[in-house]
Amino acid sequence: MMKMETDKIMDDSNSNSQYTSMILYDPARKKEPSPTFQSEKETCLTYFLKWNEADQVEYVELLLSRMCHYQHGHIDAFLKPMLQRDFISLLPKKGLDHIAENILSYLDADSLKAAELVCKEWLRVISEGMLWKKLIERKVRTDSLWRGLAERRGWIQYLFKPRPGTTHRQHSFYRALFPKIMNDIESIENNWRHGRHMLRRINCRSENSKGVYCLQYDDNKIVSGLRDNTIKIWDRSELKCVKTLTGHTGSVLCLQYDDKVIISGSSDSTVRVWDVNSGEMVNTLIHHCEAVLHLRFNNGMMVTCSKDRSIAVWDMTSPSEITLRRVLVGHRAAVNVVDFDEKYIVSASGDRTIKVWNTSTSEFLRTLNGHKRGIACLQYRDRLVVSGSSDNSIRLWDIECGACLRVLEGHEELVRCIRFDSKRIVSGAYDGKIKVWDLVAALDPRAQTSSLCLKTLVEHTGRVFRLQFDEFQIVSSSHDDTILIWDFLNYTPPESNSNRSPSPSLMEH
């Protein structure tokens, strides 16, 4: 029979003695210390205090090595509060307030809120360090939604460096401002999800042929390309036409502008360059032999595509010096849309295909197949391509492997325009409807198809030709000769018990 010994510990580098612990430690059985223990304890402490720190540590290690598991647990519970340090409270006492502030400035809103409740010293550091103000500033610097809200609501004036002759508000102002911003953001998201908006309308009043084929906007203006061969620039605040650019001899089918130029493409087969401030035409590019259907430019490069089935890549040295670099051929029908970044050029055509080209070398890379009819619109960003087709569907693609990730169905006619950001896809179609889709859910293969369309917006009375959107609004144009501004930020619920119409206010110009 083998005899099993428990809790036998043998280890001492300084002697050959063996120590055996046969009694388990139980705090509940603790008795009053004996007089012998009291006297011997004092003797041990006297010796202990005479030793240097290294000797004291070695002695304690020897004691711990001879204790049982339960004793270790008791020692651990005794040491834990002794080892904890409120470093935030200790730093200011050493004149290091700035370090305490810097540490807490990395907290998110929930953690900062919890930190305020730790103690008065933490609350003082947060308050004097203006950490709620710094948190808001960090959000505004890194998030376009916060930046847009700051500018539209006006509280950006209280952030960053104060204007000459002014001072910052007190900490309490920023502490109260943060939850108001969060409520504002939640309200905007709910308005998007439920289609609640304030609608403003621009009636373009074209004299001959009616229809607004393309547009782009910023905070101050909307630039639109019309079927009547003109480009009209509208003031955002008053929704009035402030400038009309003439020169094209066919419908203006596509345009893009930056802070220097407006570049437009037309059914007259030309690409024209205009000074964005004066409206003067500064260049005309004649290359395509049929209508220029779409164009994009960025960082000194422009790509145009045409009904003639070709894609042209241009080098832009200046508005007056734009030279043809390369012509890409491969599509078997009109090329309706192009997009590009520093890695890929992406084109879509009436031949039902999307083609991917190398931006720097113009080498053809791959074809994305899946649509059953011609493709009318497309946007490309990062790895994602979203396309709309005359098969009434929208497809999401991974550009690297060419896989179709999702098919969205719901439009009843050709999907003419499509845009997406990090949260949603917005599409417009010849059925006159604009649909808002949940992009995050669409990219999740587990999401049910029925849950992907968040809302359908119906106001246009004709085909939707073009749209653009940001976190706060959609701006769309149509064959009905109107531009609609769907404002999800400034929606005001109808007052109860009033005679007001429940529909959002409508302004016509």
Q: Can you give the pLDDT at residue 30? A: 61
Q: What confidence tens digit (pLDDT) does each residue in 455-479 have? A: 999 999 999 999 999 999 999 999 9
Q: Can you give the pLDDT at residue 97? A: 79
3 state SS for 82-107: HHCCCHHHHHHHCCCHHHHHHHHCCC
Q: What confidence tens digit (pLDDT) does each residue in 186-206 have? A: 999 999 999 999 999 999 988
Q: CA nearest 295: which of 312, 309, 308? A: 312
pLDDT category at 495 given cuts 50, 70, 90 is: low
Both tokens of 433, joined, read 């409807």
3 state SS for 23-71: CCCCHHHCCCCCHHHHHHHHHHHHHHHHCCHHHHHHHHHHHHHCCCHHH
Q: CA nearest 340: which of 354, 321, 320, 323? A: 354
Alpha helix (H) residue ranges in 308-401 = none
Asked whether the beta carbons of 129 and 174 are under 8 A apart, the reply is no
Name the phi and psi angles at 231, rounded to 5: -115, 125
Q: What confidence tens digit (pLDDT) does each residue in 198-231 have? A: 999 999 988 888 999 999 999 999 999 999 999 9
Q: 321-328 and 311-318 as β-strands: parallel, antiparallel, unpaired?
A: antiparallel
- What global pTM score does this model have? 0.81
Task: Produce one character per residue of 390-424: b if its CB has 16 or more CB atoms within 10 Å, e if not.
Answer: bbbbbbbbebeebeebbebebbeebbbbbbbeeeb
Q: Reading across the β-sheet that carries 270-275, which strands appear in turn?
A: 252-257, 261-266, 270-275, 281-286
pLDDT category at 28 given cuts 50, 70, 90 is: low
Asked whether the beta carbons of 417 and 399 are under 8 A apart, the reply is no
- pLDDT surpasses 60 at 412: yes
pLDDT category at 82 given cuts 50, 70, 90 is: confident
Q: What confidence tens digit (pLDDT) does each residue in 89-147 have? A: 877 777 787 888 898 999 999 999 999 999 998 999 999 999 999 999 999 999 999 99
Rounded to an integer, the average pLDDT of 427-453 is: 96
